């Protein structure tokens, strides 16, 4: 049985395909990092320990169950976007995308950017693969994928964690089939998110190539 996610933390927008989705993501201590420091050696790291070592979660999966909602949290060491696509490939679709820009570097306003259109699975795959390196190697954002028919959703956050809400059994089977093992997922504290100059062009392109509607950040969910 799929447990419904409570909607009290997310204000409904009557004109939005997103409806009343809410987000429960793991949070931890955030230490800002000036990108120029050690840039040459760390130019493609998204998330690291405070000693500048790239953090890897260890190909783990964790199933969290609460009274009114549940979530499957996946922590692959690599190819996170491919796992996102594997998790939703059998969903009904169409798909909405919410791009959450937490730390803009190119003059854009921080916020939740909801796509003005929905995507077929093939279109979603094209979009995610186009920006795969940006999503996997830069810590300025989160990305949501929402099945607009069922309200199932996936949140790939800037801690390199994938949160899957809805269809728990299928999500667990997909992760296990791909070699992830059950275990406790921990975020190092303190830690760093990196905002890499080499991906500034991608921040610009994501707004140039796709149309978005901006909403304010939700502080309890979207802070880095």
Domain encompassing residue 66: 57-218
Q: Both tokens of residue 33?
A: 């990092």
102, 141 Cβ separation under 8 angstroms: yes
| Predicted pLDDT at 224 | 60
Q: Both tokens of residue 154?
A: 């996936």
Dump pLDDT digits (tens) for 31-45: 333 333 334 334 577
In a domain, residue 9? The reply is no
How many other C-beta atoms are found inside a 10 Å radius of the C-beta of residue 141? 27
In a domain, residue 26? The reply is no
How many domains does the chain divide into?
1
In a domain, residue 48? The reply is no
| Predicted pLDDT at 14 | 46
In a domain, residue 142? The reply is yes
In a domain, residue 194? The reply is yes
Q: Is the peptide bond before 223 cis (omega within 30 degrees of 0)?
A: no
- Burial grade of 105 (CB within 10 A; 0-12, 13-18, 19 or more): middle
Q: How far, CA to CA in Å, does 70 sit from each of 10, 27, 163, 221?
A: 17, 17, 10, 16
| The 212-215 sheet, strands edge to edge | 181-182, 60-65, 70-75, 162-165, 153-156, 141-147, 95-101, 111-115, 212-215
| Region at 180 (left for phi over 0; alpha for psi -120 to 50; beta for the rest) | beta
Rounded CA-CA distance 95/121 in Å is 7
Q: Both tokens of residue 118?
A: 């929905």
Residues of the chain whose pLDDT is less than 70?
1-43, 224
In a domain, residue 30? The reply is no
In a domain, residue 224? The reply is no
In a domain, residue 8? The reply is no
């Amino acid at each position: 049985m799929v447990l419904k996610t409570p909607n009290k933390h997310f204000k409904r927008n009557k004109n939005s395909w997103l409806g009343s989705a809410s987000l429960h993501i793991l949070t931890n201590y955030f230490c800002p990092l000036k990108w120029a420091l050690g840039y040459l050696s760390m130019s493609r790291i998204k998330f690291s320990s405070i000693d500048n070592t790239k953090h890897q979660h260890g190909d783990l999966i964790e199933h969290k169950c609460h009274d009114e909602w549940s979530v499957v949290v996946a922590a692959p060491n690599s190819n996170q976007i491919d796992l996102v696509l594997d998790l939703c490939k059998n969903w009904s679709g169409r798909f909405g995308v919410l791009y959450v820009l937490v730390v803009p570097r190119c003059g854009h306003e921080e916020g939740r950017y909801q796509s003005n259109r929905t995507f077929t699975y093939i279109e979603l795959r094209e979009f995610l693969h186009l920006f795969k390196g940006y999503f996997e190697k830069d810590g300025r954002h989160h990305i949501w994928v929402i099945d607009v028919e069922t309200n199932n959703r996936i949140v790939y956050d800037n801690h390199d964690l994938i949160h899957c809400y809805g269809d728990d059994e299928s999500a667990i089977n997909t992760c296990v089939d791909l070699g992830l093992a059950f275990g406790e997922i921990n975020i190092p504290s303190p830690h760093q998110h990196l905002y890499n100059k080499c991906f500034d062009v991608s921040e610009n392109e994501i707004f140039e190539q796709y149309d978005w509607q901006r909403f304010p950040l939700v502080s309890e969910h979207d802070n880095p």
